[in-house]
Structure 1
């Protein structure tokens, strides 16, 4: 059994003060007694004694019999026999009550659970004290034996009222602020409301007295007025404030009732005294219980807010907390120039993959501590993502901000984190944007800093990139990021639209049936506008969304053809573009195989188009990719052929069926002999390699005739067919092949 808090040394004046309070409270109570054989109506000294022992430990229990002795010597002389009983009754009661309250682990005083345990301990204390004390009154001849039950009941309730109304105030006032449950001042009512509350409490006392002076049997019901004010305190103020209010109220109400003031008749019959005490105990318990419950709710909310504002791994500010503080700084137009920095660790994925994610987390934690140690004292640091950090650099021009961040990057570069037998190390890239408070928005600044950080990574990492309004690459990066957001939204909302455009034979004897290319459009969810691929595909490929779009286009195409078997029968070749990322995605091969297995559309009618530059980037991987899809029956076309001016030597390694001549050469045929020569050469090489040629962007009848005269096999463009939604495309006749 331990006190609520160990104290190495308690000043003597605390002991003297508590003893003086005990004697004064006892003397106050004895003044309301009608005679030497009467039990007091209210014993606030019980609350003082129990609070002292609970607060400081059992070694303070002797304070109680000393206080009882002082009360009887100064205010209430009694026979020596009863004096011994009285001192023993209060001492044994305090010991029993404190034993119940302090059993087991030291409880947290600012909790409803401790309050209920305190009421239970007070009940045990009061019962023990009443049993011993009233027995002593009978033994000393101060009380007829027949009145013992009523006297014992009144003694018990008088002590219990002292515990419920006085002990919380004494206990909370004696605790240090850290144990009293201090919360931020904003969690409680302001000082002006506290003043209004004081006025309201005083007014409730006056109204209670005025109402009682008018007479009536139910004057005690006016206690509801101060009770309402105490409930107000419980909701809006600290538990200590409420406890003090309860103590003052009970002292005043008991005095009014005990002395018969303001029209309140003192209780005459024993049952009247018991009813009054029971009512006052309820009045004192309810506001205190509500106050502690409100404190626990505020405390839990405060802990949750602290948890939300703190990054669990590093202990730094979280992303949300950082955003709030930066927005507050932006609102201060009188503040000096600032800068926002965005840091991203380089190649942390390698550490996660080779040493484990636990090692990566340990490295992030170490880098966070390093940044915290090296940052400027006025700067604000936060972890905003997995391996990403953000800093608000205060009072610094752009060059100063760049220098500060460069110091941080050098510190990260030199940092080493031990992990088992390994030494982990990393570098970081950073983007910085300088600004004046009041002239920028947080979202825009963060976007610019993130774009600058990405540019630093693209330039090799371990460097700082400053974002400037005239930095075209950063603006392009920001625009691409916005496109990615729109693309993700379109994919989530199934806003992709398929169009088709015919690929028409220019030579007789070629395949019959529909030969077409599937073209992608995106319907803007907000405006309904259909967006062309040239606007969004560069951003999709830059941020590795190409494969996801490829999957969606293939799935939508096969779904439509499966749902329209009659139209699917008319298809000879369906061409679908693939992004460069698809060539390196093993999962895409499995997706195609699974999708074709579930489709009635034969794989032999599918032709995948890959660009020349994507194929030659990794020739071996491209050939392996083509070979695996060919095993499913699929065909291939080399798209935009000639645009890369690559060597023709690799063509023997790529097992494709079609060369699609880049449209820029086809468009310039009329005005550029060189363009015409390139088209002719590509067509001849295709035929030498036993491939078919397709001329893209055939925009005029003259170009069509020229291509046919050269021997080009197919043409695609507005001169032959215009793209149309897939349903409209199949609803119209397809262009007739050349005869």
Structure 2
């Protein structure tokens, strides 16, 4: 039904255009000055396809029956000329892509198609007029030119408006979203200006003079205004009305404009009007392209291409604007998918992208209409909940997390699923800037993940624990800067035998200090290692310490020869990292320093956490000759059952027990027990944090093998420990 209605409309428009043209015919045997029906024909066939071209001969037949009776001998030629002409012209236009018709390139192609249509139609039509005896052979050239230009003027003045009108609702023919078109007040002013230009043109023509037609520049200027400030549809309609009016004034000889009696005058007028109608439309297409390009650039700068949500920059701008413009309570949420890397690693990154798109759709469907949602990167989303208390915001987020948990993404005959953790901070405008609030929400999200994931963690603007975690994140930045700036420093502290040994070589532990690249402050491990281990930088630090230690010993062979045992601490993360084990094995095989003089210290808790992996780690390095110590021994309490499985050389008694021996019988008993167990297992015991001579004597009485602490020496830079700087200065 709709197609039939469109066909009827096209026929009606064609008949109306043809009827208007017949009024402009000077007399028998003359060609119409202006044929707007050609614009209707070309626009209709280009819009709906060549099969629709049959409305053209049908409309032409009705024009001749209703308005312009012609000799029967010419009727066939008239209908044929329009039909064949529109087929040729539309075919040329449709040869190229019609995906984006509101461009200058398409406009030029349509103009070329209109010219081909006019040439064919004029050639066939004037030949038919001559065959039917309407015109003589000498009249053929002038009639053909007038027919050609009349058809072409119909194309340039009417086709754009009809094409755009037929395409209403078509996405390619709509203005871009957010287009900076002139407001309604400007459009009203423009309407007044267009009417005024018509009146001034008529008034000027009534005064007479050979240059009265130059007043056409007045509506031309208004049309250019429309092309720059309004939509192509608006400009196309304005051009059609203007050309119909000007052609009518000239054709009817109204307002002092004489009708063109000479063939040359008619041709000049038509050529002038073709230029006047073409230029504003081309300008309108160019401005439309500029707006589309600007919108795409804006979209690329503000919209995440994968999900269609706002990106981080746009979200930040919108949040700042919202916070500045309201006093209502708000909440900022940070949502991160749990274990999303598993999906990328097992199903592919393409599958991961599909899951992210699906989760974005779930969040979009379950968010409150007033809330602002964005994808901030990777598998992370941010949400601003407007006019919302903490309790309400927490309920909304829990609903979203349940929806994510229930979401399934079909991929390669499997169903992919995930969960999410969320950090939430409720605030009043003015309580903090965006960066601080997002950092707090991010920290709360991290806490939710640490607690097992798939939950919401609520932070407060002054929440102590989350502020501590934010501070830890800042430590991570400083650690990374220190690693990049080569700001780690090696210190040494002796591990002294409590009874004389035959081997008098140096036995010491490598200790780490961090020189802050910004302040130059020397920082102890207790300040930065907890943050490093929490955010998985311990492995990287261990690599750096091993490399620096071996490099130093290789550069100083004389000092290295005096070493009996060099102990290096390893974090728990290193034990389970096959990459670290490979790195360590490769480096030890290439070193000139004997691996049997290296002792790696593992904390008791990290070793017991994955006993099989720890033993495998120890066995592989023992094959190269390395030794091992179980550090902070005694803090695990239940670990005595695993001692036979861990093939280590030393038990390092935790310093807290050594410190409390004088005041705590329990601490004394623990030290005695660990020492006895070590000797039963044929291991050596080392007491940490031995600070006083009284403690040294007590340890000696208990039979402890080694002690480490201030009673012997304080941690010293490695160069000073070996006297390298002193020797270099003496040399």
TM over 0.5: yes
Greater Cα offset, 309-318 or 215-224: 215-224
Local SS of the residue matching 1:633: coil
Distance 2:211 2:553 in 1: 87
CA distance in 1, matches of 2:354, 2:44: 48
5 Å-filtered alignment, 1:199-278, equals 233-247=226-240
For 1:112-511, list aligned pairs within 5 A. 112=104, 114-139=106-131, 145-146=137-138, 148-179=140-171, 180-191=173-184, 194=187, 233-247=226-240, 281=274, 284-296=277-289, 298-299=291-292, 302=295, 326-335=319-328, 337-344=329-336, 376=368, 378-380=370-372, 390-409=382-401, 429-437=421-429, 439-469=431-461, 471-491=463-483, 493-503=484-494, 505-506=496-497, 508-509=500-501, 511=503
Segment drifting more, 202-211 vs 693-702: 202-211
Query: C-alpha displacement at 1:592, in angstroms?
Result: 0.9
User: Could you say if the C-alpha distance between residues 573 and 201 of structure 1 is closer, same or farther in structure 2, counting changes exceeding 3 Å?
Assistant: farther
CA contact (8 A) 1:26 1:44 kept: no
Q: Tell me if the contact between 1:340 and 1:434 (Cα under 8 Å) persists in the aligned partners.
A: yes
Distance 2:725 2:678 in 1: 32
Deviation at 1:542, TM superposition (A): 1.9
TM-score, normalised to structure 1, is 0.78
Partner of 1:7: 3
Change (3 A) 1:132 1:624: closer
CA RMSD of aligned residues (A): 5.1
- Offset of 1:598 from its aligned partner? 4.1
Partner of 2:625: 633
Q: 1:670 to 1:208 in 2, by over 3 A?
A: farther
Q: CA deviation at 1:637?
A: 2.6
For residue 583 of structure 1, what is the aligned residue in structure 2? 575
How far the C-alpha of 1:519 sits from its partner, in A, is 3.3
| Structure 1 residue matching 2:3: 3-state secondary structure | coil
**2:16 equivalent to 1:23:** no
Distance in 1 separating the partners of 2:287 and 2:472: 50
Partner of 2:488, secondary structure, is: strand
Which of 55, 58, 65 is equivalent to 2:53?
58
Name the CA distance, whole Å, in 2 between partners of 1:190 and 1:542.
56
Give the TM-score taking structure 2 as reference length: 0.78
Q: Distance in 2 between matches of 1:390 and 1:339?
A: 11
Measure the CA separation in 2 of the matches of 1:361 and 1:25.
60
Residues 515 and 193 of structure 1: CA distance in aligned 2, closer, same or farther (over 3 Å): farther
| Contact kept in structure 2, 1:495 and 1:524, CA below 8 Å | no
- C-alpha separation in 2, matches of 1:471 and 1:287: 63
Select between 619-628 and 395-404 the one with higher mean Cα deviation: 395-404
Structure 1 residue 427: Cα displacement? 5.6
Rounded to whole Å, the distance in 1 between the matches of 2:142 and 2:470 is 84
User: What secondary structure does 1:474 align onto?
Assistant: helix
Gap runs ≥5 in structure 1: 735-739
Cα distance in 1, alignment partners of residues 218 and 586 from structure 2: 77
> Does the CA contact (< 8 Å) of 1:22 and 1:48 recur in 2?
no
Distance in 2 (alpha carbons) for counterparts of 1:466 and 1:601:
53
- 2:111 is paired with a residue whose SS is helix
- Relative distance call for 1:102 and 1:729 in structure 2 (3 A) is same
SS at match of 2:5: coil
Judging changes above 3 Å, is the alpha-carbon distance between structure 1 residues 482 and 199 closer, same or farther for their aligned structure 2 residues?
farther
Query: 2: distance between equivalents of 1:274 and 1:476?
Result: 85
C-alpha distance in 2 between matches for 1:727 and 1:704: 25
Which stretches in structure 2 are left out of the alignment for 5+ residues? Answer: none
Residues 484-563 of structure 1 correspond to what in structure 2 (within 5 A)? 484-491=476-483, 493-503=484-494, 505-506=496-497, 508-509=500-501, 511=503, 515-562=507-554
> How far 1:394 sits from its partner (Å)?
4.2
| Alpha carbons of structure 1 residues 109 and 697: separation in structure 2 relative to 1, 3 Å | same
Please state how far the C-alpha of 1:383 moved relative to its aligned partner: 5.8
Match in the other structure for 1:737: none
Residues 616-640 of structure 1 show CA distances to partners (whole Å, capped at 9, x for unaligned) of: 3333332221121111222223323
CA shift in 2, pair 1:79/1:621, >3 Å: closer
Count of matched residue pairs:
720
Whether the 8 Å contact between 1:704 and 1:715 is mirrored in structure 2 is no
In structure 1, the residue matched to 2:586 is: 594
